[in-house]
Amino acid sequence: MLNPYFAYGVPVALLILYAGFAIFRKRSEVSYIGFVLFIIAGFLSAFCFQVIQYAFHEAAVKDWTAVTHALGAPVWTLYIGLVIGIILVALNLIRAWRRIYKIRHQ
């Protein structure tokens, strides 16, 4: 799980997928794309959190230098995907709240 291609590649692929759906959302009138964006952002957050948890587990079994060596980068870089995912989840929740509020008050 601490393979750099897996630990960093999956979040990058999810961000590219999110960007593609976000562009599609702007150019179309499909109503459920916002929910798809929410699911992608949630999966990004959950995946990054799981990788961070595994890094802490490996650090408890071995040490932090082994974890850093396995990742090929400092451990704090794993938090970048988690923070981006949480921001995107919050953004999608705000969008959903605004949409529901707008529909109820029409």
pLDDT at 1 > cutoff 80:
no
Cα 39 to its chain centre, rounded Å, is 9
CB 59 within 8 A of CB 1: no
Tell me the per-residue pLDDT of 67-103, one tens digit each, with 9 for 90 and over: 999 998 999 999 999 999 999 999 999 999 999 999 8
Domain that holds residue 75: 4-104
pLDDT at 31 > cutoff 90:
no
DSSP code of 106? Answer: -
- For residue 60, what pLDDT is reported? 94
Token pair in block for residue 94: 């705000």
Q: Which residues of 25-45 are buried (b: 16+ CB within 10 A; e: fewer)?
A: beeeeeeeebebbbebbebbb
pLDDT at 3 > cutoff 90:
no
Output 31 or 63, whichever has higher pLDDT: 63
How many separate domains does the chain show?
1
- For residue 29, what pLDDT is reported? 85
Tell me the per-residue pLDDT of 46-58, one tens digit each, with 9 for 90 and over: 999 999 999 999 9
Rounded to whole angstroms, how far apart are CA atoms 22 and 2? Answer: 29
DSSP code of 31? Answer: T
pLDDT at 30 > cutoff 90:
no
Instruction: Classify the phi-psi angles of 63: left when phi > 0, otherwise alpha if psi is within -120 to 50, otherwise beta.
Output: beta
- For residue 90, what pLDDT is reported? 98
